[in-house]
Amino acid sequence: MENDGNTEKVLVLPLNEDSRKITQTLSNEKSLKILELLARQSMSATSIAKELDMPLTTIKYNLDGLLESELIQVKETKWSRKGREIKIYEPVQKMIVVVPGSSKTDRSSILGMLRKYVAMAGAALFAALGIEYFRDFEPLGQTMPPVAPAVMSEMPAGNASNDTALFAGEAPTNATTEAARAAGES
């Protein structure tokens, strides 16, 4: 099965004799290890055997089952220096849905249900991310530490009244200056 790009994205499996081969392939631990490895990188049978430390015959047997179940496909064919054919395998990008009961279930109704649940899961994920983002958000007014008011007694030596008047933008008056002198004498 060469990669023709026309593979269906959703495989609907009614539980019957026809689906038995696929379910047996998926329940095989060695086949699952091969699928996991191919999901990371397309590889030849020899490379898979080396990576998983399994005999080449075992790998070829499981690859045949995966090909027959249409869970993998041949991505490309290369030729060795000795003129031997080398197939490079990759997983088929499919969603597998197992439907209990008879095969009378309409494919379009199953796809409609899947779209509905995927949309709900996407909305829930978006809401969860929003909650997580805003949970740590602090309003602008709460991010600044409180500032203590300045204490007049800590001002530098000199005429505090003149400093205060100048700070407020007012020119010192004679009354302010006289009050400051009187305070300094007593």
Which residues in the chain are classed under CATH 1.10.10.10?
Answer: 10-103
Answer whether 157's CB lies under 8 Å from 172's CB. no
Class of domain 10-103: mainly alpha
Neighbours of 182 (CB within 10 A): 9
Please write down the HEC assignment for all residues of the chain. CECCCCCCCEEEEECCHHHHHHHHHHHCHHHHHHHHHHHHCCEEHHHHHHHHCCCHHHHHHHHHHHHHCCCEEEEEEEECCCCCEEEEEEECCCEEEEECCCCCCCHHHHHHHHHHHHHHHHHHHHHHHHHHHHHCCCCHHHCCCCCCCCCHHHCCCCCHHHHHHHHCCCCCCHHHHHHHHHHHHC
Starting at the edge strand found earlier in the chain, the sheet holding 85-91 runs: 43-44, 85-91, 72-79
pLDDT score at 12: 67
pLDDT score at 119: 76
pLDDT score at 69: 84
Q: What is the pTM of this model?
A: 0.50
116, two tokens: 């509905």
Mean pLDDT per 10-residue run, the chain (186 residues)? 50 70 86 92 95 95 91 92 93 74 59 71 79 68 59 55 50 58 60
The residue type found at 161 is S
End-to-end CA distance of the chain: 107
34, two tokens: 């091969």
